Structure 1
Amino acid sequence: MYYWLSQLREAPVSAWIGIVLIGFFSILAIFAPLIAPFPEIAVVGPQYHAWAAPHYLGTDGLGRDVMSRLIFGARNTVGIALATTILAFLLGGITGLLAATLGGWFDMISSRIVDILMAIPSLIFALMILTITGTSVLSLILVIAVLDSTRVYRLSRAVAQDILTMDYIEVARMRGEGLPWLIRREVLPNAAAPLIAEFGLRFCFVFLFISALSFLGLGLQPPTADWGSMVRESAKLISFANFSTWQTATFGLAPLLPAGAIALLTVAVNLVVDWVLHISSGLKE
């Protein structure tokens, strides 16, 4: 902990920008019911109200407050992406570490299953499965976690195999240390840096993947607020935008709000991941 605090004090401006943005979105997600001026699904005004008090970002096609739905969208989109990434890391990371440590038939079978899953385009596979199972939150998390765990499996297996060739692993085995001890005390501490960086990257991919599915209509379903579905719902307003007046000009800006939130959070996470990779590489400049 002290090591990371000392590194945080020396973090570059780009890393601090990412940390501040991630903190901002985290506050929105955690305290959404307290921050949002209106309920998530409540109809509180006329359709397509201009950007004016009390609807500072206008209303959507049903008269729901856009600012409130953006705030609740942070909770829904980011929360589900985080839960999916954690589950993917548990599935892929544990399986990859076991495959590298045990080897033999377990490694062969698990690797072939991963190869089969990775041979199918992720978006097409997810669309097919979600069409069959339905688009509930649980189905969404499980399908994307299984698909994304294949990437985590590849990384954790490769990193663990490199570590297991080291002399200190042989010494630990000669001492009679068991498999749980080797993974917990030798492999995981040395594999932590690349896995932490991969967690941030995986979160970005999962986050964008969920937004893409929602844009296509197979992600989070209405009336739940979600940034991807908000882009789809407001995209048609671009054709009605007329920048000669403020009220009609806001129609063209409406799709940019959730799309900008998606892009901003993705960039913020990548800035922090770059800093973590820089630290783990041992480079000073």
Structure 2
Amino acid sequence: MGPLIVLLWAVAVIAACLVAGWLFRTVAIVATPHTIKRELRTAPLTASFGMLVIVIYIFVAIFAPLIAPFPEREIVGPEYMPWDHIHLLGTDNLGRDMLSRLIFGARNTVGIAFVTTALAFLIGAILGLLAATVGGWLDQILSRVVDVLMAIPALIFSLLLLTIFGTSIPTLILVIAVIDSTRVFRLARSVALNIVVMDYIEAAKLRGEGLWRLITREILPNALAPLVAEFGLRFCFVFLAISALSFLGLGLQPPMADWGSMVKENATLISFGDITPLLPAGAIALLTVSVNFVVDWQLHRASGLKE
């Protein structure tokens, strides 16, 4: 009966997720403008569920101080208290409320991951489009620098730089953004190289359009679809990288709530059969899977394939 019960629970959870995705898509179609409705109607249930989860995470991150029952850093009781009606998820190794820390972790981990991904895309996309458009020595220099940086494993490189320059939040954002911008550079350059040889690009050059206008008005709009899809994937990698660095002690520093460090700080409970340390890990996994659902849908739309 054990495996059968697990299977039934899995089927029930999947069915509930699909129903939640369908309800979200239905409400979103009613509440959004006509141009967006057309796109939402083509969204599969997995993408609809992914968008629902992303919206919930954003809501929790913005209104964390109002939702959390206790302050982020306040010690509210003895350490490792069990779940009860006051502390719904118990307390951590210092006696702080786990549910409150989990909620504030959404603001810290997800917010910093989004800022880092945006900065990585700003750096990588600009340099990649510039290298493909200008070509010549600029393309060769930028490409060789990126090749050197990509030859070093990202996690090891991050650990090295954070050990040298410190673990402050600005340093963490800058280090991960620079490392991840190399991946964005490669994609942006690859897509732009297929665009710059088009006839309309040559016509724009003959009209005397400047470099910046050529990139922003002619190349970028045609390269936007794969870049948007890559933004979602890159956000997942950045999000996981920050969590991994926090687990190793070089990410977001205590007493700031962070899902990676929460797993590390409370891992002792797993030995006693308490699943509380797995909840931050589950929050990381749920957001990663949800973002990938949406990205898969966007990639399918960008490819022009029909169902």
What TM-score do you get using the length of structure 1 for normalisation? 0.94
Q: Which residue of 2 aligns with 1:220?
A: 252
CA deviations 1:23-56 (Å, max 9, x no partner) are 0110010110111010000001221111111100
Residue 180 of structure 2: which of 138, 148, 159 is its match? 148
Task: Within 5 Å, give how 1:109-188 maps onto structure 2.
Answer: 109-188=141-220
Deviations 1:61-89 (A, max 9, x none): 11100000000000000000000000000
Quick one: structure 1 residues 189 and 3, their matched pair in 2 at CA, closer, same or farther if it must change by over 3 Å?
Answer: farther
Work out which of the residue numbers 51, 59, 62 in structure 1 matches 2:94: 62
Letter aligned with residue 172 of structure 2: L
Counterparts of 1:3 and 1:112, CA distance in 2: 43
Distance across 2 between alignment mates of 1:2 and 1:96: 35
Offset, 1:9 = 2.6
**Of 73, 77, 101, which residue of structure 1 is paired with 2:133?**
101
Alignment partner of 2:117 out of 60, 85, 94 = 85
Distance 1:276 1:219 in 2: 31
Query: Secondary structure at the residue paired with 2:243?
Result: helix
SS in 2 for 1:253: coil
Give the CA deviation at 1:194: 0.1
CA drift of 1:2 comes to 5.6
Take 2:45 and 2:152, find their aligned partners in 1: how far apart are those partners? 40
State how far apart, in whole Å, the 2-side matches of 1:197 and 1:5 are. 20
State the identity %: 69
Mind listing any 5+ residue stretches in structure 1 that lack a counterpart?
A: 242-251
CA shift, 1:143, in A, is 0.4
Name the residue aligned to 1:234: 266
Helix, strand or coil at the partner of 2:94: coil
- Structure 2 alignment gaps of length 5 or more: 1-32
Residue 120 of structure 2 aligns to a residue whose secondary structure is: helix
Number of residue equivalences: 275
**In 2, Cα distance between the equivalents of 1:59 and 1:10?**
44
Q: Which moved more, 1:182-191 or 1:66-75?
A: 182-191
Choose between structure 1 and 2 for higher RCO, CA contacts under 8 A separated by at least 6 residues: 1
Is 1:49–2:81 an aligned residue pair?
yes
Corresponding residue number in structure 1 for 2:293: 271
Residue type matched to 1:154 in 2?
A: R
| Secondary structure of the corresponding residue to residue 225 of structure 1 | coil
Offset, 1:281: 0.9
Question: Where does 1:189-204 land on structure 2 (aligned, <5 Å)?
Answer: 189-204=221-236
- Range moving further from structure 2, 222-231 or 181-190: 181-190
